Amino acid sequence: MDNKVALGVDIGGTNTVYGLIDAKGAIYQQGEIPTNSTQPVDHLVSRLYESTTKYLAKNGALEMIGIGIGAPNANHKTGMIDSPPNLDWESFDIRAAFGDYFNQKTFVTNDANAAALGEKNYGIAKDMDDFVEITLGTGLGSGVFSGGALVYGYSGFAGEVGHVSIDPNGRKCKCGKRGCLESYASATGVKNTILEFLEDDPQDLLLNQLNSGNINGAIIDSEYDKGNKTARKIYQYTGQKLGIGLAQVAAILSPEAFIFYGGFSNAGTRLLKYAKISMEEQLLECQKNTIRLLPSGLPQGKAGILGAASLVWEY
């Protein structure tokens, strides 16, 4: 047993997941608390401090040696969170906020990069040097590995695959551009697709059911499995758009695999088989049949804290 642990923190819009994790990825303490971003960040930090300090006091053999944080719009290079979507905080130095309070060496990255790190260190990408982790949720995030290392880019903002445009006349994205992959292949994108489909087919039962509440991937999945044609049409359309975006990314990076994580990725092959067909159509001849589309090898909700904690071990 390794007695050194890192605190991995995955900050989400609603909840924050955290865990004390050793270098091999064994999780000693795991918890989930409301993020409460209407309060100053110290409110979150102090609650995490209390919880982990209590646990460590009871488990005297364990020693915390650092903190890794994954959060939306967090920048590895600067330690800042920049006006995160779905959080009420403005831009601030989240690395200092945690590091000073805990008096621990602290590392920061964005949530999709944390998932990619988790996949590389503890998931199905262990033996891959070149892959792209795609997180499908409300939006589409991504973390890129190239030559065995995470790609941060000069500004620290690399890996914005969700904002690769697949159509200059396409849907208006919240970023201001048109045709961003995220505006098709994400829960938000599927919501837009359902609204568009409803214009052509206002009586469709499934479309009306889906439109009446939050987009529920589980309902689409179960209708798809029963042979519902509308469910199939939704995944066909979404997968086709996703494939076009993946081929764009592949032209630049030529990865071994695109790996899908996050709530909306539970669709699995229902979505990915259409994405694969579409991607292969768009790939350069020399890249055809070299790239796999795979579901994540990590349990839902754990990639973030595992990856965030691994920032400490990598250091």
Which residues here bind a second copy, judged by CB under 8 A?
73, 82, 128-131, 144, 146-147, 149, 151-161, 163-168, 175-177, 244, 248-249, 251-256, 282, 284-287, 290-291
**Other C-beta atoms lying within 10 Å of the C-beta of residue 34:** 12
Closer to a second copy at the Cβ: 117 or 291? 291
Minimum distance of a second copy from residue 288's CB (angstroms):
10
Residue type, 205: L
CA-closest candidate to residue 263, choices 37, 12, 9, 8:
12
Q: Which residues contact 217 (CB under 8 A, 6 or more apart)?
A: 187, 263, 264, 266, 267
Closer to a second copy at the Cβ: 159 or 262? 159
Minimum distance of a second copy from residue 314's CB (angstroms):
13
Minimum distance of a second copy from residue 149's CB (angstroms):
5
Residues 119 and 128 sit within 8 Å (Cβ to Cβ): no
Closer to a second copy at the Cβ: 159 or 304? 159
Minimum distance of a second copy from residue 286's CB (angstroms):
5
Q: Using the 8-state DSSP alphabet, how is residue 91 labeled?
A: S
Minimum distance of a second copy from residue 116's CB (angstroms):
13
Question: How far is it, in rounded angstroms, from Cα 220 to Cα 238?
Answer: 12
Question: How far is it, in rounded angstroms, from Cα 278 to Cα 261?
Answer: 20
Closer to a second copy at the Cβ: 133 or 223? 133
Closer to a second copy at the Cβ: 5 or 166? 166
Minimum distance of a second copy from residue 128's CB (angstroms):
8
DSSP of 233-265? HHHHHHHHHHHHHHHHHHHHH--SEEEEESGGG
Closer to a second copy at the Cβ: 14 or 290? 290
